[in-house]
Amino acid sequence: MITTRTLRDKTWLRFSILFIVGFVQATNYYFYDALSPLKSVLEKELGFSSTDFGLFVSVYSVPNVFLLMAVLGGVILDRLGIRRTGFLFVLFMAIGSFITAYGASDYYREGGMFYGFMSSFLPGYSPELKMMLFGRFLYGLGAETSIVVISKIIVKWFKGKELALAFGLKIGMARGGSALAFIISPRLINAPGGWTTSIWLAAFLVGAGLIVFMVYMLQDYRLDRQTITKEKLLKKDEMFRISDLGKLLMNRSFLYVTALCVTFYSAVFPFLSFSADFFLNKFGFSLEQSGDISAFLPIGTTIFTPLFGLFVDKRGKSATLMIYGSLLLVLVHLCFAFTYITPYLLMVILGIAFSLVPAAMWPAVAKIVKENRIGTAYGLMFSIQNIGLWVFPLLAGIILDASNPLGTVRLDYTGTIIMFAALGLAGLVFALLLRREDKVSGYGLELPSNKKA
């Protein structure tokens, strides 16, 4: 039976749901960045090269690039619903995180389970690296689709209400997880349990995220009981077809926003993974100081993304904000490459840029795509985005090794940072094309988030 008032109409419950799923995504982001400030430690303890570290970062995206898991996850989400899809992929995320931690553990390195098997092939790569790559692969298989699920949850509970603010708060919480990873991980190197304590903590947080998602599932079930079930809601001719992907790929607004997504995120996330080591080498900061500076970016997004989301809800201007964010990104990377301007300031500005674009972009997709296809659309975007998140961390490590002879004391990051600036410039072009196309397509991206043209 359909009720005139549902759980989503209760403001306090709506925002409680937001903070529940925001915590799940925050644990995801914490784990993703937990090893980033430990690059030099991994080189010392496990013999990683910069290319090895880039491979470790990039393998996260392999299941989403080559197996199209984010696309398939989005399709599965639209067909099977939030609860079953979300639980499955958050579970993959948790299993992968614990395997990654196991691969770095003393027990494994001293000949623990599967050490012999991992030593039996690809002798050019250490058993530790191979096990950690496998764990990172499984974590990535679950992590991207879990973000697709959480994005659909936000649309489900907030569409027609505070949608952009909700996305901003969700993204802010997620970036808060990244900030804590950069601050906490370097400080756990000398923990009584050893330097791997930082990885185990990250894995246990992801496990906590799985438990919290199960709490959400109860509320999702209650909401569905108050409304028409998915099977009754969707007419036969509205069920997913492969041709739906073709329709998305023929939509120029969707193509431009997806191209902006892949170039913009590829200029930020891989940079953030190398940033602590960059600050250590270029500016001579300590490991703890470098981690703290890297944390300025996610801290900035935690503060600014909800504010920009509120602005989009009230005033609109999504396409314009994406242009401003992309321009700031280019300027910051050029300053990192060619100047010695204090990185504290530049990371704050980068945090503003990294707030402007996501706060405007993700709610904009809900205007471009019908709600019963939003999972598929987000899944396709995340899969294409992961092409960049696979290629560019690996390329960053290769450029870094190629531009620094073996034994170099302080690594020169200039070539790597120029690559990130070029990605930002490409994103700026796509943002400009998106705003021009919106004038033709009439999706109303410049209008407040709860209005259409």
Residue 90's identity, in one-letter code, is: V
- Do 219 and 17 meet the contact criterion of CB atoms below 8 Å apart? yes
Residue 220's identity, in one-letter code, is: D
Dihedral pair phi/psi, residue 411, rounded to 5°: -70, 140
pLDDT (0 to 100) of residue 3: 46
Q: Tell me if residue 452 falls in helix, strand or coil.
A: coil
Query: Mean per-residue pLDDT for 380-400?
Result: 89
CA–CA dist 156, 235 (Å, integer): 19
What Rg, from alpha-carbon coordinates, does the chain have? 21
- Do 394 and 51 meet the contact criterion of CB atoms below 8 Å apart? yes
Using alpha carbons, select from 129, 122, 146 the residue that is nearest to residue 35. 129
What tens digit of pLDDT does each residue of 285-296 get?
988 999 999 999
Sign of the torsion formed by the C-alpha atoms of 78, 79, 80 and 81 = positive
CA–CA dist 435, 253 (Å, integer): 9
340, pLDDT greater than 90: yes
Q: What is the largest CA-CA distance in the chain?
A: 70
Domains of the chain, first to last: 18-441 (1.20.1250.20)
Sign of the torsion formed by the C-alpha atoms of 185, 187, 192 and 194 = positive
CA–CA dist 452, 45 (Å, integer): 55
418, pLDDT greater than 70: yes
pLDDT (0 to 100) of residue 213: 96
What tens digit of pLDDT does each residue of 298-336 get?
888 888 988 998 898 888 889 999 999 999 999 999 999
**Tokens 């410039």 belong to which residue?**
425
Residue 127 CB coordination number (10 Å): 23
Query: Mean per-residue pLDDT for 343-365?
Result: 91
Q: Identify the band that residue 452 occupies on the pLDDT scale cut at 50, 70 and 90.
A: low
Using alpha carbons, select from 62, 97, 56 the residue that is nearest to residue 388. 62
Range of weakest confidence among 50-54, 71-75, 148-152, 265-269: 71-75
pTM for this entry: 0.79
